[in-house]
Amino acid sequence: MHIHILGICGTFMGGVAQLAVQAGHKVTGCDANVYPPMSDQLQQAGIELVQGFGAEQLAIEPDLWVIGNVVSRGNPLMEAILNAGLPYVSGPQWMCENILRGRHVLAVAGTHGKTTTTSMLSWILEYAGLEPGFLVGGVPQDFGVSARLGKGKHFVIEADEYDTAFFDKRSKFVHYRPRTAILNNLEYDHADIFENLAAIEKQFHHLVRTIPSSGLAVVNGQCEALERVLDKGAWCRVERFDTTSGWSIDAQGVVSFGGQTYGRLQMRLAGRHNRLNALAAIAAARDAGVAPEIALEALGVFVGVKRRLEHKGSVNGVTVIDDFAHHPTAIQETIAALRSEIGNERRILAVLEPRSNTMKLGVMKSRLPESLADADLVFCFAGKGVDWDTAEALASLGDKTSHYKEDIAALVRDVAARCRAGDVVLCMSNGSFGGVHQKLLSALEQGAEQA
């Protein structure tokens, strides 16, 4: 089959494209911005890319048009497809019908930690020799690719609650039909499509409804929103984690469940949130037949995901770190994890770009001061689409904050000037942040040469 994917350079749709090629399909695609690194991955997979959404692409004549959720009515190619009455389908539905059918699907859902937990679970199954397929919304460094068809019966997928397509406003994860599902946590997010937390809870319950009675939901036992989801009805087995009666991990990292102790978690990833991610992955892997002792071994050599406290370089004793944190809870957990790793003697310089749709709308700006409180200095960059006053929102942090409006050069110059040996510069954004990491390292090198 020849499929042409609209919005192919997104993380999810790019993964779908790579899986389709591995499954033997001919794949072409288009996007408004065809650029690295995804464009490089796709071209290496032999996928021909077209810049833009011009209606002339009808001449490609694929068997099926696969539509990403970046595409909306008014898109010239989409309008041409509709007017011509051509067959089209969403990316998640195509995945369900062509990749996931007949496999043991393990889906990882939640507001935070999906990418890391999906990567952990995939690696545990790989370490155990199960050769799973996977689709991750990032690049697991243990695999080097974001998607793989796999040879075994298991498929691990990052289960996003964002909507499926302009013609299907259900969450993507409703299409995946998991046999094992992790519900990691649940908070309000995606303010551009969900009016409140209850609306997201409803979508999570749609997911729970699809789990077979012989299946398993691994659920955060400390999340009230998830308890409300389960209260609406659950027809599968449920195992809770972060509870004394369910899966637990103590201060020494000892993992227990059902009165049995399995061993101690020792991994390079810092932070309590990563310990809980690991606990959920261990529980889900057990449902796939992997003993917790083997899962603990696997996590002991797990490297992690790009853009999750990723070390980008060091100059003159100053370390630059990249992280995807884009929600107040994630920001707070990331800073806490870094603090636990470096201690209190070294300074954390938090460089934040509120770039997600929720953050641009300013829905959670009141929570930012608390989430950034443990940083020693805060630099906030308001790019396009941020119309709220960052200085006003962060006023309670006092004079340790600096603010910038669409001026990366000034941001880089000021951060570099205020750095001293031993500092850790933590850059947080869900985008490329204008290449701020390399620009900071270059500025620090220039400063060192001039000193």
How large is the C-alpha radius of gyration of the chain? 22
Q: Residue 406 domain-assigned?
A: yes
One domain for residues 278 and 324: no
In 3-state terms, what secondary structure has residue 425?
Answer: strand
For 120-211, strand residue ranges (E) read: 133-135, 147-148, 154-158, 163-165, 168-171, 180-183
Amino acid, single-letter form, for residue 108:
V
Angle between helices 272-287 and 328-342 (to 10 degrees): 110
User: What confidence tens digit (pLDDT) does each residue in 286-318 have?
Assistant: 999 999 999 999 999 888 777 777 888 888 889
Instruction: Using alpha carbons, select from 196, 189, 186 the residue that is nearest to residue 227.
Output: 186
Q: If pLDDT is split at 50, 70 and 90, which confidence band does 450 have?
A: low
Q: Which token pair is 435?
A: 């290449």
Residue after which a domain boundary falls, among 38, 70, 93: 93
One domain for residues 64 and 126: no
Q: Which token pair is 214?
A: 């012989």
Specify the CATH number for the domain of residue 137. Answer: 3.40.1190.10
Residue 221 has pLDDT above 80, yes or no: yes
Residue after which a domain boundary falls, among 248, 279, 300: 300
Specify the CATH number for the domain of residue 326. Answer: 3.90.190.20
396 Cβ contact partners less than 8 Å away, ≥ 6 residues apart: 369
> What is the distance between the alpha carbons of residues 294 and 291, in angstroms, rounded to a whole number?
5
One domain for residues 15 and 49: yes
Residue 451 has pLDDT above 60, yes or no: no
Q: Residue 388 domain-assigned?
A: yes
Q: Residue 305 domain-assigned?
A: no
One domain for residues 295 and 334: no
One domain for residues 117 and 245: yes
One domain for residues 211 and 286: yes
Strand order in the sheet with 260-264: 248-249, 254-257, 260-264
424 Cβ contact partners less than 8 Å away, ≥ 6 residues apart: 318, 319, 321, 338, 342, 346, 347, 348, 349
Distances in Å between the Cα of 115 and the Cα atoms of 6, 111, 143, 153, 157 are 23, 10, 13, 21, 9
Amino acid, single-letter form, for residue 161:
E
User: What confidence tens digit (pLDDT) does each residue in 147-167 have?
Assistant: 999 999 999 999 999 999 999
- Residue 430's domain comprises 310-450
Q: Residue 166 domain-assigned?
A: yes
Residue 193 has pLDDT above 90, yes or no: no
One domain for residues 278 and 353: no
Average pLDDT on 39-45 reads 83
Q: Residue 173 domain-assigned?
A: yes
User: Average model confidence (pLDDT) for the chain?
Assistant: 90
Q: Which helix (H) or strand (E) holds 12?
A: helix 11-22
Q: If pLDDT is split at 50, 70 and 90, which confidence band does 448 have?
A: low
> What is the distance between the alpha carbons of residues 451 and 440, in angstroms, rounded to a whole number?
16
Instruction: Using alpha carbons, select from 373, 448, 380, 369 the residue that is nearest to residue 410.
Output: 380
Domain count of the chain?
A: 3
The β-bridge relationship of strands 248-249 and 254-257 is antiparallel
pTM: 0.82
One domain for residues 207 and 293: yes
In 3-state terms, what secondary structure has residue 70?
Answer: coil
One domain for residues 291 and 315: no
Strand order in the sheet with 2-6: 48-51, 26-31, 2-6, 64-67, 88-90
Instruction: Using alpha carbons, select from 228, 427, 153 the residue that is nearest to residue 310.
Output: 427
Average pLDDT on 382-402 reads 85
User: What confidence tens digit (pLDDT) does each residue in 112-158 have?
Assistant: 889 999 999 999 999 999 999 999 987 787 888 889 999 999 999 99
One domain for residues 54 and 112: no
One domain for residues 238 and 356: no
In 3-state terms, what secondary structure has residue 90?
Answer: strand
Residue 64 has pLDDT above 80, yes or no: yes
One domain for residues 89 and 115: no
Residue 135: per-residue pLDDT: 96
Q: Residue 28 domain-assigned?
A: yes
User: What confidence tens digit (pLDDT) does each residue in 319-370 have?
Assistant: 998 988 777 888 888 898 889 888 888 999 999 998 877 777 777 788 888 9
Q: If pLDDT is split at 50, 70 and 90, which confidence band does 45 have?
A: confident
Q: What single string gives the DSSP state of each residue in 222-285?
A: T-HHHHHHHHT---SEEEEESSSSSBEE-TT-EEEETTEEEEE---S--SHHHHHHHHHHHHHH
Residue 36: per-residue pLDDT: 64
Distances in Å between the Cα of 265 and the Cα atoms of 125, 261, 302 are 17, 11, 11
CA 157 to chain centre: 11
Q: Residue 23 domain-assigned?
A: yes
Residue after which a domain boundary falls, among 41, 75, 93: 93
Specify the CATH number for the domain of residue 27. Answer: 3.40.50.720
Share of the chain above pLDDT 70, in %: 98
